[in-house]
Amino acid sequence: MRESAERTLQSAAKKLGMSDNDVALLVQAEREHVFDLTIGKGEHAKTFEAFRVQHSSRRGPHKGGIRFHPQVDIDEVRALAMLMSLKTAAVGLPFGGGKGGISVDPRHLSEAELEELSRAYVRHLVEHIGPDKDVPAPDVNTNSVVIDWMVDEFERLTGDTTKASFTGKSVANGGSVGREAATGRGGLHALQEVLKRKELERRVITVAVQGFGNVGYWFAKLASEAKNLRLIAVSDSRYTLRVNEGLDIDAVRVAKLRGGFDFYERGSVTSAEDIIGVQCDVLVLAALEGAVHIGNVHRVKAPFVLELANGPVSQEAYDGLTQRGTVVVPDIVANAGGVIVSYLEWLQNKANEHWSEERVNEELQKYIVRAVDNMISTADASRISYKEAALKIAIRRLNEA
């Protein structure tokens, strides 16, 4: 993943005419923290490897999540930190990029151990993070509970009471309304803007969504409320559910809570992989990295692919898709809704304000629409793909900064 992220960045930067030295500076993280954290005492002590990569602060404080996962390693954190620098730059946020993680399976820890580990992570990094240095957020297997512990530890150690040291807090503890739906909502704005620019917004567009977690669910829910979209298929890690007349997403959610898509009253239920080949206008990838790869890219029938997961189309698959004329809306713009609302949370904390959900959603839409318009204009002017255009904008901004 790191090699592929670096290669993508290097080739885009070289196309912009940057010198080898500037390219190397762009790829290199400013600082990497790799450390062990021990919780418990004596025979109950447990030690975990922890990471924080601060990739770039050229445009503002480092920004990026902290994931708790047994497979977290330095290469993954490096790649994700770099992706964050590109994402914040592509959508014009005054933030840089960073990422953190602990190599741990949180299911094997008690709640008290999880809290001890979360607080220990902050104690180790306290000199290097904070509202104007590095503002972490939740990621895989971390949530507002973990972040609230971290903020509390940061406040205890530094006396900072702005709450702007982390985003993704609970709303009662300074979090922003609208954060939960933000990535799915931002993805929908991105899609609608692309359809508008292609003069397709008056047609009924059929949509299939891979992934029914936070991002996939919210995208599907909001898309099913849009008049011009018809959601015809969703998938999770086990099955694809397909109803050509359109899905009732609330009923799908209830079916999933009852045990799975089998409990939905209509449609066909087939293997999880089948979502890739659904005949539709837009395939939304909201589950995993590398979901479309060289082995299954031939199955994709949709003329539009919306990347809501990070890196859900491998480079080889991407080359195949673009050769066929498929339009890929790239992750660094399409899934930036989460980090945009994180920025809005940080702004609210700094000003000691609490905005309404309406205001948060309006601001989110403005950022996404501006970023998509900029990306499409750059792509059209230079006759390059949306992904190349988004990278070009991000790299140029990073380089200028």
Q: Is 1 in the site for ligand NAD (CB under 6 A)?
A: no
Q: Is 88 in the site for ligand NAD (CB under 6 A)?
A: no
Q: What angle do CA 302, 308, 312 make, to 5 degrees?
A: 70
Q: Judged by CB, which is closer to ligand NAD: 74, or 288?
A: 288
For tokens 């292609």, name the residue. 198
Minimum Å distance from CB 234 to ligand NAD? 9
- Map the footprint of ligand NAD across residues 309-368, applying CB under 6 A: 309-310, 335, 338
Q: Judged by CB, which is closer to ligand NAD: 252, or 321?
A: 252
Return the closest-CA partner of residue 78 out of 4, 158, 185: 4
Q: Two tokens at 370?
A: 């501006």
Minimum Å distance from CB 61 to ligand NAD? 18
Residues 45, 90: Cα–Cα separation, whole Å? 43
How many residues in the shown chain lie near ligand NAD by CB under 6 A? Answer: 21
Stretch that binds ligand NAD, among 97-105, 205-213, 246-254, 370-378 (CB under 6 A): 205-213
* 99 carries an active-site annotation: yes
Q: Judged by CB, which is closer to ligand NAD: 153, or 180?
A: 180
321, 328 Cβ separation under 8 angstroms: yes
Stretch that binds ligand NAD, among 68-76, 222-230, 284-292, 351-359 (CB under 6 A): 284-292
Residues 297, 324: Cα–Cα separation, whole Å? 11
Provide the phi-psi class of 246: left if phi over 0, else alpha when psi is between -120 and 50, else beta: left
Q: What angle do CA 144, 148, 151 make, to 5 degrees?
A: 135
Burial class for 172, CB neighbours closer than 10 Å (0-12, 13-18, 19+): exposed
Q: Judged by CB, which is closer to ligand NAD: 183, or 365?
A: 183
Return the closest-CA partner of residue 16 out of 327, 380, 378, 332: 378
Q: Is 272 in the site for ligand NAD (CB under 6 A)?
A: yes
Minimum Å distance from CB 314 to ligand NAD? 14
Q: Is 308 in the site for ligand NAD (CB under 6 A)?
A: yes
Question: Which residues, 6 or more positions from 206, have their beta carbon under 8 angstroms from its beta carbon?
Answer: 229, 230, 231, 232, 280, 281, 282
Minimum Å distance from CB 158 to ligand NAD? 27
Minimum Å distance from CB 212 to ligand NAD? 4
Query: What is the largest distance, in Å, between two alpha-carbon atoms of the chain?
Result: 67
> Which of these is catalytic: 63, 87, 99, 387?
99
Q: Which residue is nearest to ligand NAD (CB)?
A: 213
Minimum Å distance from CB 129 to ligand NAD? 20
Q: Which residues bind ligand NAD (CB under 6 A)?
A: 183, 210-216, 235-237, 272, 286-289, 308-310, 335, 338
Q: Catalytic residue numbers?
A: 99
